[in-house]
Amino acid sequence: MEKSVGNMQEIRNREQVEMFLNGKDSIEKFRRTLMQYECAMLEIKTKLDVLNTELSLQKSRNPFETIKCRIKSPESIFGKMEKNNIPMTVEAMEKYLNDIAGIRVICSFPDDIYMLADCLLAQDDITLVARKDYIKKPKPNGYRSLHLIVEVPIFLTDEKKPMRVEVQFRTIAMDFWASLEHKMKYKKHIDKAESISNELFYCAELIAQLDGRMQQIREKIEGAPEL
């Protein structure tokens, strides 16, 4: 039963991809490119896991709590290309989309975000393509996270290729906020939407204060002498 549901999904995806590519590119090329993004995502995830393992020994705590990875679905890839008037080709997809491979790193404390980002960017096979610091400069709705677009080479059987990956860093509290705020985007009609937005903005400010105070408490605990 499960298998047939999977097959139906596969057929739908295939039809959808063929419709968008409209004979300009093969579905095999599209799939191979997504596979390459997956490899790049694995490269970056491994780098972050290695840093977490090393730093957890030095600091006696984990710099990040959770790491989530995703490859953008064909539906959202084509949706974004259509919305931004990007030609429906695999080349254009690679040239203009930065978030096909996405990693979200969830930390307990804001200073761990910057430490991890700096350690990742210091690696000599990583190139920073773009940086958006929505923690230092939050979005008007209160959204906070550090976004990096990085390029990393992947080594395949027959080629070495630089690939772009979006890495989002945020605290547990910022992630909690962003998940709830994200739900609003999928609701067309919300009663009192403005008052909910105002409440969310207020909560984002509280979260920023809470993150800062928790970090200060941690520093005091770490600075205290051992028993």
Q: Which of 15, 151, 159, 166 is catalytic?
A: 166
Q: Which of 40, 117, 178, 208 binds ligand 0O2 (CB under 6 A)?
A: 178
Continuous H helices in the chain? 2-21, 27-59, 74-83, 90-96, 110-121, 172-185, 193-223
The amino acid that residue 170 corresponds to is R
**Residues in binding contact with ligand 0O2, number by CB under 6 A:** 10
In order of 5, 25, 29, 99, the CA distances from 15 in angstroms are: 16, 14, 15, 23
For residues 98 and 127, which CB has a smaller minimum distance to ligand 0O2 in the complex?
Answer: 98
CA angle at 35 for the pair 32 and 41, rounded to the nearest 5°: 150
Please name the helix (run of DSSP H) or strand (run of DSSP E) that holds residue 102, with its range, or none: strand 101-107
Examine residue 211 and tell whether it contacts ligand 0O2 (CB under 6 A): no
Least distance CB 176 / ligand 0O2 (angstroms): 11
CA angle at 186 for the pair 165 and 34, rounded to the nearest 5°: 25
**91 assigned to active site:** no
Examine residue 143 and tell whether it contacts ligand 0O2 (CB under 6 A): yes
Least distance CB 111 / ligand 0O2 (angstroms): 21
For residues 181 and 211, which CB has a smaller minimum distance to ligand 0O2 in the complex?
Answer: 181
For residues 43 and 181, which CB has a smaller minimum distance to ligand 0O2 in the complex?
Answer: 181
Q: Which residue has the tokens 């027959």?
A: 158
For residues 111 and 133, which CB has a smaller minimum distance to ligand 0O2 in the complex?
Answer: 133
C-alpha 155/C-alpha 33 separation (Å) is 13
Examine residue 66 and tell whether it contacts ligand 0O2 (CB under 6 A): no
Structure tokens at 173: 């509290």
For residues 47 and 170, which CB has a smaller minimum distance to ligand 0O2 in the complex?
Answer: 170
Stretch that binds ligand 0O2, among 12-20, 177-185, 201-209, 212-220 (CB under 6 A): 177-185
Torsion of CA 67, 49, 143, 179, to 10 degrees: 10
Examine residue 65 and tell whether it contacts ligand 0O2 (CB under 6 A): no
Residues forming contacts to ligand 0O2 in the complex (CB under 6 A) are: 98-99, 132, 139, 141, 143, 147, 178, 181-182
Q: Which residues are annotated as catalytic?
A: 166
